[in-house]
Amino acid sequence: MEEEKIKFLELETVVLDIIKTIYDPEISVNIYDLGLIYEIKIDKNKEAWIKMTLTSPNCPEAETLPSKVHDKVKGIELINDAHVEVVFDPPWSQENISEAAKLELGLL
């Protein structure tokens, strides 16, 4: 059981690494460091469940960013399927941005 838990944690790390390759086209920061990813879970069927948000409900990338996340995560060899849910609660704020991204964006 413990070995299986470790494998799921490793798979979550792989998913996270893939998500970090997706950049907001308007800002040169990946969507994870931008604070758009709220949750990543891998179930026993090796399906990824991702909760994400957007900087605003009217974000011009509202259709493309979730699709990119879905397609890239589903493309991982060990993932059987990907489910991306866009949520706005809690709403995104600049506080969600990682320290490294804040530094890169000149917010520090």
Give the model confidence (pLDDT) of 14-26 as tens digits. Answer: 999 999 999 988 8
Answer yes or no: is pLDDT of 3 > 60.
no
pLDDT interval class at 59 (50, 70, 90): confident
Beta strand extents in 16-56 (DSSP E only) = 37-42, 47-52
DSSP structure class, residue 90: S
pTM of the model: 0.88
Q: What is the CA radius of gyration of the chain?
A: 14
pLDDT interval class at 8 (50, 70, 90): low
How does the average pLDDT of the chain come out, rounded?
90
User: Looking at the domain covering 2-104, what would its CATH class be?
Assistant: alpha beta
CA 36, CA 30: separation in Å to the nearest integer? 9
pLDDT interval class at 4 (50, 70, 90): low
Q: Is 13 in a helix, a strand, or coil? A: helix
Tokens 């879970």: give the residue.
41
More confident residue, 57 or 30: 30
Average pLDDT rounded to a whole number, residues 68-75: 97
Q: How far apart are the first and last CA of the chain?
A: 44
Locate the domains of the chain by residue range.
Answer: 2-104
